[in-house]
A and B are shown apart, each in its own frame.
Chain A
Amino acid sequence: DTGVSQDPRHKITKRGQNVTFRCDPISEHNRLYWYRQTLGQGPEFLTYFQNEAQLEKSRLLSDRFSAERPKGSFSTLEIQRTEQGDSAMYLCASSPKRGSWGWIEQYFGPGTRLTVT
């Protein structure tokens, strides 16, 4: 059973460039979450999908950010015109539905560390 995978693990980019990250959830987990973690802080929720539908976006997700999950499997997170403040670890998590309990467990991937210079 493979866990959540993310690619790339590290990305260094220059300010103003676009970047795209990929997340592959655990098979058959129909929910997928994106979080952002800056140094010394806890992760912050960005957005989540149920199958291919994006159900909620945080106010943290500015117009420069877009996320997709086109076939309800892998997801991509794109940041356009990167800024130094975008430097962070971007974490993906997937979650299975546990009957009447709903989605109670989130399994996190290794993260993509973005550095904007």
Chain B
Amino acid sequence: GAVVSQHPSRVICKSGTSVKIECRSLDFQATTMFWYRQFPKQSLMLMATSNEGSKATYEQGVEKDKFLINHASLTLSTLTVTSAHPEDSSFYICSARDPGSGGSDTQYFGPGTRLTVL
């Protein structure tokens, strides 16, 4: 099946710094990518939907200025956590929709990025 990669897999940063996480679709072009956040023992919460060439659509309660999303190409979306604080520590997961596979429910997930803010 289609492959989605994320980089880095783990990152530790100091409070107040910014961190960029990359999500790439390796063997297909993804017009739509999704960013999720997962807290320990909790479900994945959708943060935003990213469409190539346009602004991301954020879910209610997600700060647009804190979680910057860029989807500049059909194979790459980035999530930047700006001025990170310890409460931003979490597991961030991206997924990408492959329009060529047919059906809007075909999302392929990356392995996730563990962010720890000290």
Partners in one complex: no
Binding site for B on A (CB under 8 A): none
Binding site for A on B (CB under 8 A): none
